[in-house]
Amino acid sequence: MLGASSCGYILYPGRRGRTSGTIDIPVLIIDILWFIPGLVPGLICLIVDFASGCIYEGGERAKTSSPPSGNESRDATVEIELDGEIVATGKVAADRKTNLTWSRQVDDATLRARGHVLVRTTDGAVARAELSTVL
């Protein structure tokens, strides 16, 4: 079971989240020794220790930003596109639902076959998906 885990991750859980510092040589050596049983255990140990930051003796901790609370919301709009033309738009409400305003009537089969949904946030991010994958 220890082969699927990493030495620094188990021995020094308080180091998790570090992003830099001096590499702890004994931890590195033990991780490298996991290459004796096979390539996979050695790679797993090194990847986990470097990714978690447990291989570093000192240094900075990762800074995380908390996700928006329920009171904060990102403004976003939803557009339904058919053959390059926007046929419906709507604004995402606080409850994450949208009422679409249609510019023309389109049948469901056509939308599923050739339609796309686009979600645009005010910070410029855009997500696009085929309607056939979300319906």
Encoded tokens for 1: 């079971």
Query: How many helices (H) and strands (E) would you count in the chain?
Result: 5, 5
Task: Summarize pLDDT for 49-63 with one digit per residue, the tens.
Answer: 888 888 888 654 444
Q: What is the mean pLDDT of residues 38-52?
A: 84
Given this model, what pLDDT does residue 5 score? 54
Sketch the domain layout of the chain as residue ranges.
2-52, 76-134
Tens digit of pLDDT for each residue in 81-94? 999 999 999 898 87
Residue 85 β-bridge partners? 82
Residue 64 carries which side chain, given as an amino acid letter?
T
29 vs 10: CA distance, rounded Å: 15
Percent of residues, the chain, with pLDDT higher than 90 = 10
pTM, rounded to two decimals = 0.46
Q: Is the pLDDT of residue 44 over 70?
A: yes
Which residue stretches of 12-64 are H helix?
25-33, 39-52
Mean pLDDT of the chain: 79
Phi, psi (rounded to 5 degrees) for 7: -60, -55
Q: pLDDT by residue (tens digit) across 6-37? A: 678 888 888 888 887 888 888 888 888 888 88
Residue 75 burial by Cβ neighbours in a 10 Å radius (0-12, 13-18, 19+): exposed
